[in-house]
A and B are shown apart, each in its own frame.
Chain A
């Protein structure tokens, strides 16, 4: 779908690393270029026309994001430098005050470093307890296991909506239902889900949601932090500077602005936010439901084809997203990735920033294929064909 918008696809490249970052359509880059060339002023500052235009465009994107994830108000949308900063802001600006010694935070072993590490640091500081909810034999999170891990001390559940190695889709709505009955907050990392399926924060009833623009056609350097207004009001900024204060005095008196501006110290990534806005338009033109349906269809096709190859080990056949982790029997994942690169097929090799997942899989490294709507069955056929003749692998890479 819409391959003509992606200049890089004209270069005979097969891009299967969308979990790392997606390709950028011409329209997104054009919107950023338009800002830089035609109204490239700072925002919230000048009384002149192009500064007002830049401010309006920037704030329009906040509304776009609000509609895109169906938030109650644009006040709940904070622009950050990406998913990692969003998560760190929540952990060190909110959780640090909210959690007390002995309180428990539930995670799983398939979570990304950006979710686990801030909590690990906080655990050292505040003596909170991190618990990992056991996963099933298919490495998935079930409501039963989650419920069984909850104790009276459990205050927060922090999980990805879709995990980045195994691509399993969590039933967030059921999780929040269960959590909220027990006064537990739910933080959802949407980095791998918001780009791929319709995310409705009201319907899911999540308390916090984070994601990055660059995994959804947008530029690098910008992400979103969503929190229910009452929690955002209770959150402290962790970055201080221009743009976020009302006034400050020599004696230390300072008054900060209100949410969400309070959390956007310094000149924000203006062009990038504008690019994100165009990316959202692009995704909505296709329709998030169509994107999800198409990716699932591609994944099923990919699994069906690869199952015929005895040398291929698949780790997550059943997960309902466009992510497939695999290895070639007896071959180190990186060697497989280098072999595929020889045919201009881009896949990721490694532990994919989920370093503790090795305990679950009994294997440290995998190759990961992560699909997006511009991938095709023809590209999958090419991958399957190249993996079929992998007896030649060492001839190619050495």
Chain B
């Protein structure tokens, strides 16, 4: 079972397909859950603390805005952990503020720097593309040593 980083990290489709084919999806929910269940942090709504911006320094330089560094404290450990990655190109719903956009760029850059197997896809626009989408994900995950 490989640990597969998914981008968008909140994607229901990618998360489901990775788990369905026998691997562990690495999405933001895992980082959030870790914060929620660790005693001592108390900042609503996302349990982000000033320390997170410091932790983000591991993945982003000090002159990078703290918003990006804070986000990187969520994504960074997942990227470090990842043994493979599935990336959806230009997902519409990941559109957000400049902090989100820069973080997304940095996440994609770091994943590609890591030299791990990466599958890049587009969201399916019709049924045929849907079949190809699932088929490509399955083939990719099977090559990693999945269950089916």
Whether chain B is bound by chain A comes out as no
List chain A positions with a Cβ less than 8 A from chain B: none
Identify the B interface with A (CB < 8 A).
none
